[in-house]
Amino acid sequence: MKRLLIILLALAFVQLNAQDLTYYKQIVKELSSAKYQGRGYAYDGANKAGLYLWKEFSNAGVDEIILQSFSLDINTFPKKMQMSVDGRKLTPGVDFSMREYSPGVHGTFKLYYVDTNNFDAEKMFADLAKPEYKDCFVVCDFWFSYRHHKDFQQLWGASGCTNAGMIQTWNPLLKFYKAYGEKVTGKPVIWATSDFPKDAKSITVHIDNKFLDDYKCFNVIAKVEGRRHDSCYVFTAHYDHLGNLGKKVYYAGANDNASGTAAIVTLAAYYAKTRPAYDMYFIAFSGEDANLRGSEWYTEHPIVPLAQIKYLFNIDMIGDNNPVQYCEVSDEGMRGYALFERLNSEKHYFKALNRGELAGNSDHYPFALRHVPCIFFENEEGDAFKYYHTPYDTYENARFDSYEPIFKMVRDFVEKY
């Protein structure tokens, strides 16, 4: 009996100190399923996913869960999404996608191709003023139009040229974004792959947009009480994603960011099994893909004073297999970065940590601006990274190499910091 008790205690210890990869994968698979339609807004997928996370945090045994409501304005494309070139049908999400601020558009339109080899802005505008190009779509390489932004910006404004819209060509895989979808511009901007025909005559499009004004969403905040309440650790990840591009295409977002969201749920389950030294908060943000709206709201309405945060860990897009771990660190977080490097050197979580320049690319940024010590983890340039913001960011294309080392590194940091 004594021997059996020792074995059971040892197994319990292992359980308390081990990450749960099977459970982790289960959460990633659930969040990236069709049930949540890309965790966007038009079909309420983000809020449905938030309620799922509330249930999972509850099952994990946390002490408290708060749903922190906020609202945002966002443009969506939930219905018709059809485009053909000279009668050849294109596939949404694969052959074309929309700029997030675009209005809907219906009809058949002539095409005007910008001469990028002998570009003359005055000639372009003179051509577009001719009757034969009234209500046309202007076709141009994205990066060329970006470099000549001052010349091209009126092509998608409400006034100025009489063109109906613009097509910007990109190398595949085409991306889709929501960051600037808080308003709708005057004319549609369509992204198409670089193999878009170079001499087509016309396009036919039937694209619906739906602008959601004051859309209600929420952050999911779980708490595990520690022995001390004067300071806390915070673990964050965003659970929203891009939603739909028409009725048939949704962006599953397995890597971005079901992978990070699942990580903080399993961390909550781990810390709920034992009483940590400090209070632990696990915040699943909504509105990240809509320009960090959830984390901005939280930093303006914190549950506990931001000054009480000992360290914040933002986990985003770790569903990949690059052995070098990318990270960003706030100025105040640098006092803990040497510990991350030492732990990585001693325990070989990754071949190396690659610290980049702090940027407004995820939910750590509003905290960094408010002097919170924090670190951002994102696995870049692995096999799954190429599917970022495409319909191919699915559970099947996610990779799970980074989860265990991230879990262990964060856990070990908390123990020693």
Give the tens place of pLDDT for each residue, 219-274: 999 999 999 999 999 999 999 999 999 999 999 999 999 999 999 999 999 999 98
407: domain CATH number?
3.40.630.10
Rounded Cα–Cα distance for residues 62 and 65 (Å): 7
pLDDT greater than 80 at residue 323:
yes
Residue 149 is predicted with a pLDDT of 92
Rounded Cα–Cα distance for residues 387 and 319 (Å): 11
Residues 352 and 220 in one domain: yes
Residues 286 and 363 in one domain: yes
Residues 191 and 227 in one domain: no
Residues 335 and 364 in one domain: yes
Give me the mean pLDDT over the 181-186 stretch: 94
The residue written with tokens 């109906």 in the block is 164
Asked, for residue 4, whether it belongs to a domain, the answer is no
Residue 219 is predicted with a pLDDT of 98
Q: Structure tokens of 395?
A: 């559970």
Residues 69 and 87 in one domain: no
How far out from the chain centre does Cα 191 lie? 19
Residues 402 and 348 in one domain: yes
Domain containing 41 equals 19-74+213-416
Peptide bond into 257 cis (omega under 30): yes
96: domain CATH number?
3.50.30.30
CA distances from 37 to 32, 197, 259, 369 (A): 8, 31, 16, 33
pTM: 0.94
Give me the mean pLDDT over the 115-136 stretch: 94
Give me the mean pLDDT over the 340-367 stretch: 97
CB 400 within 8 A of CB 25: yes
Confidence of residue 9 (pLDDT cuts 50, 70, 90): very low
Of 142, 173, 207, the one marking the end of a domain is: 207
Of 207, 226, 241, the one marking the end of a domain is: 207
Rounded Cα–Cα distance for residues 306 and 323 (Å): 33
CA distances from 354 to 360, 376, 404 (A): 17, 11, 18
